[in-house]
């Protein structure tokens, strides 16, 4: 791609297909069209933002430009990536899931208490995934059968899950199970002194599966269809009801898995963990270019959203003098910009 002053040059490897034949002007115009389309625009802007932030960090701080800083974004946010994947499914249908943070805490509590009671991790982890999926199923059914607003249904699930945490224990339970400890301390070297954790691999696998499901299966395409118009999807003979319920199962499963990954990271269960994490996940999905009204967005965009959030956090910790609350302020501002961007891109077309 020709490097010019046009903003289009920020899209190396962007998903647009370039033929290479037409004149430069025509190519620029089509690239510009991609940039302002609600499908690719926001995600490309997020990519540009990520690159920009990374360069800014590298210029300002020594030791910033390293593979490990980049990889640590994955290491520290593996659970958030998994959460964002589930949230992407839900938001693509035009729904929302506020329960994920509480479910992360709940699965941590279940893991810690059952491990303490002497259950093996090979039983505990599948059990957690089944339980959180079932919770997602119930939420989905509530939304579909009783036509409850997703906001309300998942809010109820959030309180339920958070409450159950306290039923299990009022205080923190530490995890001493050797498998968990092993998973927490294992570092997989990637050469050059850089390394990742098993959680990162799990997160990457989840992302890969999600990409495949969304783009290569009928279920995935129906998720997009729901976000476009539920009514149309129904009249086109698509399995609207099943899909609508299933996205909450996916989100429940991802929350459970994220909870497990989070315990690998903290080696404890605590009823107050992950408060507000659902909002981080939503922020990541929105910054990653998924429209809150559904229908447009990519899982990889959400991953990018998580990385941008992580990068902001990293920069602020490198800065040293700033309070970590500045992270929230930056994320808030960013979110605002992206939501306005969404409005602009979608209203342009009507």
Partner 1 sequence: MTDTAPVVEMRGISIEFPGVKALDGVDFRMFAGEVHSLMGENGAGKSTLIKALTGVYGIDGGTIVLGSEEVSFSGPAQAQAAGISTVYQEVNLLPNLSVAENIMLGREPRRFGSIDWRATRRRAAELLAGLNLEIDPTSLLGDHSLAVQQLVAIARAMDINARVLILDEPTSSLDADEVAELFRVIRSLKEQGVAILFVSHFLDQVYEIADRLTVLRNGRLVGEYRTEEILRIDLVQKMIGKELASLDDLEKRSRAVVEGDEDARAARFLDAEGIGRKGKVQPVDLPIAEGEVVGLAGLLGSGRTEVARLIGGIDRPDSGSIELRGDGVKLRTPRQAIAHRIAYSSENRRDEGIVGDLSVRDNIVLALQADRGWFRPIPKKRQEELAQSYIQALNIRPADPNALVRNLSGGNQQKVLLARWLAIAPRLLILDEPTRGIDIGAKAEIQKLVVNLAENGMSVLFISAELEEVLRLSHRVAVMRDRRMVADLVNDGLGVEELMALIAEGSGDEDNPGEAASASPTPPAGPAPADPEGALR
Contact footprint for partner 1 (CB under 8 A): 33, 36-39, 212, 215-218, 221-222, 224-225, 227-229, 231-239, 295-296, 348-349
CB of 36 to partner 1, least distance (A): 7
CB of 231 to partner 1, least distance (A): 7
User: What's the distance, CA 120 to chain centroid?
Assistant: 29
CB of 273 to partner 1, least distance (A): 36
Closest CA to 150 of 342, 338, 296, 278: 278
- Identify the residue whose tokens are 């902001």: 312
CB 223 within 8 Å of CB 93: yes
DSSP state of 275: T
- What is the CB neighbour count within 10 angstroms for residue 90? 30
CB of 238 to partner 1, least distance (A): 5
User: What's the distance, CA 81 to chain centroid?
Assistant: 4
CB of 229 to partner 1, least distance (A): 6
CB of 223 to partner 1, least distance (A): 11
CA distances from 68 to 16, 51, 187, 242, 318 (A): 30, 16, 12, 42, 14
Of 174 and 217, CB closest to partner 1 = 217
Give me 169's structure tokens: 């224990």
Q: Residue 14 belongs to what H/E stretch?
A: none
Of 187 and 242, CB closest to partner 1 = 242
Of 30 and 116, CB closest to partner 1 = 30
Of 271 and 297, CB closest to partner 1 = 297
Give me 258's structure tokens: 């994220």
DSSP state of 322: S
Of 90 and 114, CB closest to partner 1 = 90
User: What's the distance, CA 176 to chain centroid?
Assistant: 29
Of 187 and 216, CB closest to partner 1 = 216
Largest CA distance in the chain: 70
Of 64 and 224, CB closest to partner 1 = 224
Give me 41's structure tokens: 């625009």
Of 187 and 215, CB closest to partner 1 = 215
CB of 38 to partner 1, least distance (A): 8
CB of 286 to partner 1, least distance (A): 17
Give me 103's structure tokens: 């479910």
Close Cβ partners of 214 (under 8 Å, ≥ 6 residues apart): 88, 89, 92, 220, 221, 223, 224, 298, 299
């Amino acid at each position: 791609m020709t490097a010019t002053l046009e903003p289009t040059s920020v899209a190396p490897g962007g998903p647009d297909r370039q033929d290479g034949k037409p004149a430069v002007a025509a190519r620029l115009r089509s690239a510009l069209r991609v940039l302002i389309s609600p499908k690719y625009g926001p995600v490309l802007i997020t990519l540009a933002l990520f690159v920009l932030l990374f360069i800014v960090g590298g210029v300002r701080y020594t030791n910033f430009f390293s593979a490990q800083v980049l990889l640590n974004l994955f290491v520290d946010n593996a659970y958030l990536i998994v959460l964002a994947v589930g949230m992407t499914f839900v938001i693509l249908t035009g729904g929302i899931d506020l329960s994920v943070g509480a479910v992360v805490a709940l699965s941590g509590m279940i893991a810690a208490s059952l491990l303490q009671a002497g259950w093996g991790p090979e039983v505990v982890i599948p059990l957690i995934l089944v339980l959180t999926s079932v919770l997602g199923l119930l939420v989905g059914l509530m939304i579909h059968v009783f036509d409850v607003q997703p906001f309300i249904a998942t809010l109820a699930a959030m309180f339920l899950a958070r409450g159950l945490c306290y039923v299990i224990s009022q205080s923190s339970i530490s995890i001493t199970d050797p498998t968990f400890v092993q998973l927490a301390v294992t570092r997989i070297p990637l050469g050059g002194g850089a390394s990742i954790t098993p959680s990162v691999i799990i997160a990457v696998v989840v992302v890969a599966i999600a990409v495949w499901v969304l783009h290569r299966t009928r279920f995935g395409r129906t998720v997009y269809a729901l976000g476009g118009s539920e009514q149309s999807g129904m009249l086109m003979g698509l399995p609207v009801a099943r899909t609508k319920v299933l996205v909450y199962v996916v989100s429940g499963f991802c929350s459970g898995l994220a909870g497990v990954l989070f315990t690998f990271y903290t080696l404890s269960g605590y009823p107050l963990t992950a408060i507000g994490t659902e909002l981080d996940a939503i922020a990541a999905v929105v910054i990653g270019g998924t429209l809150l009204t559904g229908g447009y967005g990519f899982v990889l965009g959400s991953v990018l959203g998580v990385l941008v959030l992580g990068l902001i956090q990293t920069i602020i910790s490198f800065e040293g003098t700033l309070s970590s609350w500045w992270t929230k302020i930056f994320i808030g501002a960013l979110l605002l910009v992206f939501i306005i961007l969404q409005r602009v891109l979608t209203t342009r077309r009507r």
